[in-house]
Amino acid sequence: MTQINVRVDGASYSDDVEPRTLLVHYLREQLGKVGTVVGCDTSNCGACTVHLDGESVKSCTVLAVQADGSEVTTIEGVADGATLHPVQKAFHEQHGLQCGYCTPGMIMASIDLLKNNPDPSEHEIREGIEGNLCRCTGYQNIVKAVQQAAGEMSSAGAHSVETTGAQA
């Protein structure tokens, strides 16, 4: 067993894990973070996507020991209390899901995409979420949801820039 220290969704944990433990299994089984799901188990579907030190990763393809000293954000850590993250809200409002299994990973991939590219084209959205499979929606409403979230997040960002400017 190897001891790891990680922060997950803002809380610190210190745990003993076997080196072969996958990050997703650590999150689900040791920490109870079952919002992150296992889909294909072959790095293909992206359902298990989380952020490791701010970057999207497939948590079925990272060892828990590799997260030692790192910050992990799961779908359970993106809302602000009872207020949904703009991407969560947009998936809800645009019906960006049917069965919902891919949704945690889709949302984590989309947040990562918008961090790197706040105003993506439809093509860039489809490329940005290409590592996440949805077998229900045909992706149309997922793309619409990301577009809505991009609009809301950039207008919120523009507002805060204006505010800062006014204060200066």
Partner 1 sequence: MIPASFAYARPTTVDEALQAIAAGGEDVKILAGGQSLIPVMRLRLAAPETVVDITRVTELRGVREDGDSLVIGAMTTHHDVITDPLIAQYGKLIAEATETVADPAVRHRGTFGGALVHADPAGDLPAVALALDAEFVIAGLGGARRTVPATEFFVDYLTTALADGELLVEVRVPKLGSDWGVRYEKFNRVAQAWSIVAVAAAVRREGSRITEARIGLTNMGSTPIRARAVEAALVGADVSLETVTAAAAQAAEGTEPSSDLNAQADYRQHLARVLTRRAVTAAAGL
Residue 53 or residue 162: which is nearer to partner 1 going by CB? 53
Min dist. Cβ of residue 60 to partner 1 (A): 8
Min dist. Cβ of residue 166 to partner 1 (A): 33
Q: Which of residues 112-131 bind partner 1 (CB under 8 A)?
A: 112-113, 126, 128, 130-131
Q: Which residues of 51-79 are buried (b: 16+ CB within 10 A; e: fewer)?
A: bbeeebbbbbebbbbebeebbbbbbbbbe
Instruction: Write out the DSSP string of 85-136.
Output: PHHHHHHHHTT--SS-SSHHHHHHHHHHHHHH-SS--HHHHHHHTTT---SS
The reply on whether position 20 binds partner 1 by CB under 8 A is yes
Q: Contact residues for partner 1 (CB under 8 A)?
A: 2, 18-22, 25, 41-44, 46, 49, 52, 55-58, 60-63, 65-66, 109, 112-113, 126, 128, 130-132
